[in-house]
Amino acid sequence: MLGVMLISCATAFAWFVRIQVKTVSREREALTKRTMASVILNSVTGVMSQLASHTDYDSPTQRWYQPLIFPFQDLGIWVVQIIPLDDKIPIRNLFLPDGNTLRHEFEEPLKNMLEKINHEEIENTLLDFLDRNTRPRVGGVEREEFINRGPYDISELLIISHDITPEILYGGGGVLGLADYCTVFSDGKINLNVAPVHVMELLPGLDEKGLASRVEQVRQEEPLTSLQDIQKIPGASPRTSTLLTNIAGFKSRYFNVRIEMLETEGEGGSSFNIIFDRNTKQIVKWEEF
């Protein structure tokens, strides 16, 4: 009996050791990949910061925003792509410096957005949730759980659970959601070189005659650098550039850096999704898959 017990204990211990060794090996591999991603990111963000003073626009057509491939001996093949953001309605920058007065240039886009998602009724409640004071607007409401500041992540809008459901936030049934139109990663203007058509269609001056679609076509051939470029596009009215002042831009502050290690023999792949703030030279979001 004692012999059987000793054999059983020895077997169990052997399995435990094997599991621990595998765990340590996986952790070491994950650490190596994370370190490699950090090294690549430091190089990329350093270049991005230097470019900021040499260009007045950010467009996916620029060569440094094309996918970059880095083969490293013993560390596999890494693919890096930098994607300019500031591409949607800046939900953290809707108000004037007082934190309570909605910026005039965003009044129309906000109404257009809520109309597109079929929920115009949540406008004042949404603004009460985001502004700095605790006084309800006419038709709005203030609750104890309201953050009364700009969100750090778009998912914080789900705190308004009485009015905003996951479907309203992320869309469903063929209808886009708030997350398709808004972003927390913006300096206050929408980069027209990267904004999707459905966002540009919300903006005054671009919301009719198919002008937003023509902007997308033009920018694929040559980056937009100023409002004068928009004014030259067929269909633009004499007032288009004036209407877009203070709401449209051509440069980005935030960038999505995607780093992927391709699968190699004996090793699985890894992916990193990182948001970089070029103004402060800081990482504001880091995700691993």
Mark 168-189 as b/e (b = at least 16 C-beta within 10 Å). Answer: bbebeeeebbbbbbbbbbbbeb
Q: What is the mean pLDDT of the chain?
A: 88
- Say if residue 274 is exposed, middle or buried (CB neighbours under 10 Å; 0-12, 13-18, 19+): buried
Distance of CA 240 to the CA centre of its chain: 27
What's the pTM? 0.87
- What are 65's two structure tokens? 């925003």
pLDDT, one tens digit per residue, over 194-233 is: 999 999 999 999 988 899 999 999 999 999 999 999 999 9
pLDDT, one tens digit per residue, over 125-148 is: 999 999 999 999 999 999 999 999
Residue 237 · residue 250 · CB < 8 Å: no
- Confidence tier at 181 by pLDDT (50, 70, 90): very high
List, as one string, the DSSP characters of 236-280: --TTHHHHHTTTEES--SEEEEEEEEPPBTTB--EEEEEEEETTT
Q: What percent of the chain has pLDDT over 90?
A: 68
Residue 217 dihedral angles phi and psi, to the nearest 5°: -65, -45
Residue 228 · residue 250 · CB < 8 Å: no
Nearest-angstrom CA–CA distance, 191 and 244: 11
Q: Which residue has the higher pLDDT, 179 or 174?
A: 179
Residue 266: its pLDDT value, please? 54
Residue 215 dihedral angles phi and psi, to the nearest 5°: -60, -45
pLDDT, one tens digit per residue, over 64-103 is: 999 999 887 777 889 999 999 999 999 999 999 999 999 9
pLDDT, one tens digit per residue, over 235-256 is: 898 889 999 999 999 999 999 9
Give strand ranges (E) for 15-150.
68-72, 76-84, 89-90
- What are 53's two structure tokens? 């003073």
Position 27 pLDDT exceeds 90: no
pLDDT, one tens digit per residue, over 43-54 is: 888 888 888 778
Alpha helices in 103-184 (DSSP H): 107-116, 123-130, 166-170, 178-181
CA proximity to 255, closest of 41, 9, 86: 86
CA proximity to 225, closest of 57, 6, 62: 57
Give strand ranges (E) for 2-72.
68-72
Q: Which residue has the higher pLDDT, 9 or 190?
A: 190
Q: What percent of the chain has pLDDT over 70?
A: 89
Residue 13: its pLDDT value, please? 42
CA proximity to 61, closest of 193, 214, 231: 193
Residue 6: its pLDDT value, please? 34
Domain assignments of the chain as residue spans, ordered by start: 95-181+198-247
Q: How long, in residues, is the chain?
A: 289
